[in-house]
């Protein structure tokens, strides 16, 4: 079973499927997995430039992301997948609907304890509109000097259009490690 996250751009194209010039491989920044599988042509790789240290450094610098955090297993697994993939998680974002309490109505004290255990700051807000509050939180982080490149979501299918729209409007990379995976 493939445990690597599926990275989906805000336009809905899987990064691996993108054939545009923006995705050409830079010499010296080659994914070790592509080398191991033999998916590169000789002209793509300058062998003197490729070594384990450079591959590890590239993986550790995928970008700074926020994680949509409910306190449940999906958000936790998505966060973990993003970290394994090399993203730096800057904040966990948790929003609690004012009008209705649902299955994800976890005591905020528990959410803060989770964030503290992970060593990642939590932003917890009550909301009427999840979309508006999420955008506001990311804009506030950016206005305070944070560089935010992407957003990680644990949702499988139900919120795909919503998070795609949010990421598109904020120019964020949409990262959905659980996309099309069995929720069990």
139 in helix, strand or coil? Answer: helix
Distances (CA, A) of 39 to 19, 85, 90, 110: 14, 20, 33, 46
For the record, the structure tokens of 32 come out as 């070790």
6-8: strand order across its sheet:
6-8, 173-176, 150-152, 64-68, 88-97, 122-127
Domains of the chain by residue range: 26-59, 61-176
Q: Give residue 48's pLDDT.
A: 46
pLDDT digits (tens, 9 = 90+) for 72-105: 888 899 999 999 999 999 999 998 887 765 555 6
For the record, the structure tokens of 87 come out as 């993203």
Distance CA 84, CA 11 (A): 24
Whole-number average pLDDT of the chain: 73
Distance of CA 144 to the CA centre of its chain: 21
Assigned CATH for 61-176: 3.40.50.620
28 in helix, strand or coil? Answer: coil
For the record, the structure tokens of 31 come out as 């994914």
pLDDT digits (tens, 9 = 90+) for 94-148: 988 877 655 556 888 999 999 999 999 999 998 888 899 999 999 999 999 999 9
């Amino acid at each position: 079973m493939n445990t690597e996250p599926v990275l989906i751009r805000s336009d809905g194209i899987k990064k691996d499927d993108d054939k545009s010039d923006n995705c050409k491989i830079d010499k010296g920044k080659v994914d070790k997995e592509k080398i191991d599988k033999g998916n590169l042509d000789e002209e793509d790789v300058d062998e003197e430039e490729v070594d384990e240290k450079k591959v590890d450094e590239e993986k550790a610098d995928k970008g700074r992301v926020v994680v949509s955090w409910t306190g449940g297993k999906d958000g936790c697994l998505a966060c973990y997948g993003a970290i394994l993939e090399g993203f730096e998680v800057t904040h966990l974002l948790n929003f609690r609907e004012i009008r209705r309490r649902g299955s994800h109505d976890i005591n905020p004290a528990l959410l803060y304890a989770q964030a503290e255990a992970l060593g990642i700051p939590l932003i917890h807000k009550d909301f009427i509109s999840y979309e508006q509050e999420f955008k506001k939180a990311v804009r506030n982080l950016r206005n305070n000097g944070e560089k935010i490149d992407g957003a990680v979501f644990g949702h499988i299918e139900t919120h795909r259009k919503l998070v795609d729209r949010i990421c598109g409007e904020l120019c964020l990379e949409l990262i959905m490690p659980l996309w099309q995976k069995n929720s069990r």
